[in-house]
Amino acid sequence: MPDLFKNYIDGQWVEAKSGRTFENRNPADRRDLIGLFPASGAEDVEAAVSAAKKAFAKWRLVPAPKRGEILFRVGELLRQRKEEIARSMTREMGKILKETRGDVQEGIDTAFYAAGEGRRLLGETTPSELPDKFAMSVRLPLGVCALITPWNFPMAIPTWKLFPALLCGNTVVLKPAEDTPYSAVELFEILEQAGLPPGVANLVHGTGEEAGAALVRHRDVQLISFTGSTAVGREIAAACGQSLKRVSLEMGGKNGQIVMEDADLQLALEGALWGAFGTTGQRCTATSRVIFHRDIRKKMTEMLIERAEKIKIGNGLDENVQMGPLINEAARKKVHGYVQIGKGEGARLLTGGTIYEEGEWVHGLFYRPTIFDEVTPTMRIAREEIFGPVLSLIEVKSFEEAIEVLNATPYGLSSSIYTRDVARAFRAIRDIEAGITYINGPTIGAEVHLPFGGVKETGNGHREAGTTVYDIFTEWKSVYIDYSGRLQKAQIDSVD
Ligand code: NAD
């Protein structure tokens, strides 16, 4: 009998009201069934939102430093279970152990950061224009927040949203991705163990179309915090526009790494390989384009091919493996489809471009590291998010052209430039259209105490992480305290 996992609603582990379930399998070996999870519908969402609404009445009044103490305990428990969670995450979604350990670490860092924020959560005090009057602004929670998350960072992304939301005094319902429900179960076991009161955080599994859409529609949900594809984000934004719900969107990317002729090529090579093939290319910040100066093109291309062909593919639980599988069959079909599109557009396939199913790997969803040369900025493989181990090489003649090419996509999440010229580095910081720019580092590797998010079709103006995420999960209230004992009129009495 397969393991049967449940939703977590109002402090209880419960099945979907319909009794329906869905399977979760290991992408490195599809024969390995992790378990069955509730295929929740609108009635389960109703129960979760109603529990969150009820819990909000008390939770909003718990002092923020106390809420922070609970999150501190959550961080400690995550730290204790780090290795176990990393292992089950690799089994569930395929990326290698080093990376799943990093994913859990991001959750730990976010918990400790949020715990500290409990003793800050700053508002402003500012002078009034009138005598005997005091002015300040304070942050208040919103109410019930719905968090909808993707599968590629099963711990980091839910915790980025969950911990700040809770710290600010909101209650939440999390709908994790269908491909990584088990990681969410582990996170909620820890929340329960840390003493989070019932109803404050609720977990509802299921598909986006059913459980996700029911959350987006629900009248008692004040905010949708979504990370995922731009196509789904657009739909959610449209629905939230109709209901005037606050919505924070973190979406796709088509990130580029510029390599100038004066760069340290070895460093640029290591960055490109890690950025393009880490997490099998399935990061929103993955490097999917290397934009290099023509003077170093030949050398850099040779170095890239040689190293890409040596990448050890396999089950991420093996410490020697460097690249795991793609998440599911649809993802592999999509990646392979883009390889055909690239060939059709006239790009030159240098290496890879095929499914990897040698020996025991026939049961997994593996794909070879793939590199295309002679890519032009208007090709689809240079503009659209592939979300797999496919790297496009684009040659440029100057720094100005490199920036122009880097900016020539609908997305604007992460970016990088390798150069030893400090003036070029600063111009790149100024001119690149992206939420993140690395100088002499790959496009991946964000730290939790800096704002995270992107411009253009990557986001809608919000930033997660850092102090900026606290703007997503709070409402500002301006407060005026008049102790003059008379009616004072702003803009009228203050003039002259
Ligand atoms: P996805 O958009 O398919 O799904 C994301 C989540 O939305 C899932 O939980 C899914 O069930 C839910 N969903 C789907 N349809 C829905 C609907 N109609 N209503 C409500 N919810 C719905 O994305 P994915 O395949 O899980 O993740 C990959 C994408 O996420 C990539 O585009 C990647 O760039 C992006 N991503 C962005 C960031 C970022 O911070 N910018 C981080 C990680 C991943």
Report which DSSP code applies to 150: -
Using alpha carbons, select from 411, 395, 421 the residue that is nearest to residue 443: 411
CA atoms 221, 160, 57, 61: torsion sign:
negative
Among the residue ranges 81-95, 119-133, 482-496, the one predicted with the least confidence is 482-496
Whether 149 contacts 157, CB under 8 Å: yes
Predicted confidence at residue 495, as pLDDT, reads 63
For ligand 1, atom 26, name the residue with the nearest CA. 150
Is 158's C-beta closer than 6 angstroms to any atom of ligand 1? no
Neighbours of 88 (CB within 10 A): 18
Contacts of 295 (CB under 8 A, 6+ apart): 261
The pLDDT > 70 percentage for the chain reads 99
Q: Where are the beta strands (DSSP E) in 348-413?
A: 348-351, 355-356, 366-367, 370-373, 390-396, 411-412
Rounded CA gap, 399 and 29, in Å?
45
Q: What is the mean pLDDT of residues 160-188?
A: 98
Q: What is the mean pLDDT of the chain?
A: 97
Is 227's C-beta closer than 6 angstroms to any atom of ligand 1? yes
Model confidence at 496: pLDDT above 70: no
Rounded CA gap, 337 and 345, in Å?
12
Using alpha carbons, select from 400, 383, 401 the residue that is nearest to residue 392: 383
231 C-alpha vs ligand 1 centroid, how far in Å?
9
149 C-alpha vs ligand 1 centroid, how far in Å?
6
Predicted confidence at residue 44, as pLDDT, reads 98
Whether 72 contacts 115, CB under 8 Å: yes
End-to-end CA distance of the chain: 82
Rounded CA gap, 138 and 390, in Å?
47
Is 44's C-beta closer than 6 angstroms to any atom of ligand 1? no
The pLDDT > 90 percentage for the chain reads 98
For ligand 1, atom 11, name the residue with the nearest CA. 208
H/E run at residue 104? helix 97-117
Q: What is the mean pLDDT of residues 137-161?
A: 98
Model confidence at 275: pLDDT above 80: yes
Report which DSSP code applies to 7: E
pTM above 0.95, yes or no: yes
User: Which residue matches tokens 């519908």?
Assistant: 41
How many Cα atoms occupy the beta-carbon half-sphere of 17 within 13 Å?
A: 10
For ligand 1, atom 31, name the residue with the nearest CA. 229
Instruction: For a ligand 1 pocket test, name from 24, 103, 216, 251 the mutation site with the most ligand atoms within 8 angstroms of its C-beta.
Output: 251
Q: What is the mean pLDDT of residues 208-237?
A: 98
Q: What is the CA radius of gyration of the chain?
A: 24
Rounded CA gap, 388 and 371, in Å?
11
Report which DSSP code applies to 347: P
Is 178's C-beta closer than 6 angstroms to any atom of ligand 1? yes
Predicted confidence at residue 320, as pLDDT, reads 97
Is 228's C-beta closer than 6 angstroms to any atom of ligand 1? yes
Which tens digits make up the pLDDT trace of 355-401? 999 888 899 999 999 999 999 999 999 999 999 999 999 999 999 99
168 assigned to active site:
no
Which tens digits make up the pLDDT trace of 348-363? 999 999 999 988 889 9
User: Which residue matches tokens 């809608």?
Assistant: 460
Which one from 15, 250, 457, 464 is the annotated catalytic residue?
A: 250
For residue 379, CA distances in Å to 240, 281, 376 come to 33, 19, 6
Which one from 145, 168, 240, 284 is the annotated catalytic residue?
A: 284
Q: Where are the beta strands (DSSP E) in 265-410?
A: 287-293, 348-351, 355-356, 366-367, 370-373, 390-396
Instruction: For a ligand 1 pocket test, name from 40, 232, 411, 468 the mutation site with the most ligand atoms within 8 angstroms of its C-beta.
Output: 232
Is 413's C-beta closer than 6 angstroms to any atom of ligand 1? yes
Burial 236-265 (b: 16+ CB within 10 A, else e): bbeebeeeebbbbbbbbbbbbbbbbeebeb
Is 387's C-beta closer than 6 angstroms to any atom of ligand 1? yes
Q: How many residues are recorded in the chain?
A: 496
Q: What is the mean pLDDT of residues 280-309?
A: 98
Q: What is the mean pLDDT of residues 204-222?
A: 98
Using 50, 70 and 90 to split pLDDT, how confident is the model at 1? confident
Using 50, 70 and 90 to split pLDDT, how confident is the model at 220? very high
Is 150's C-beta closer than 6 angstroms to any atom of ligand 1? yes
Question: What domains are there in the chain, each with its CATH number?
Answer: 7-251+459-478 (3.40.605.10), 255-439 (3.40.309.10)
151 C-alpha vs ligand 1 centroid, how far in Å?
8
Q: Where are the beta strands (DSSP E) in 79-168?
A: 124-127, 133-141, 144-148
126 C-alpha vs ligand 1 centroid, how far in Å?
41
Query: Between vectors from CA 2 to CA 328 and to CA 212, what angle results, nearest 5°?
Result: 50
Could you tell me the two tokens for 142?
């919103």
Is 148's C-beta closer than 6 angstroms to any atom of ligand 1? yes
Rounded CA gap, 8 and 411, in Å?
36
Q: What is the mean pLDDT of residues 5-28?
A: 98
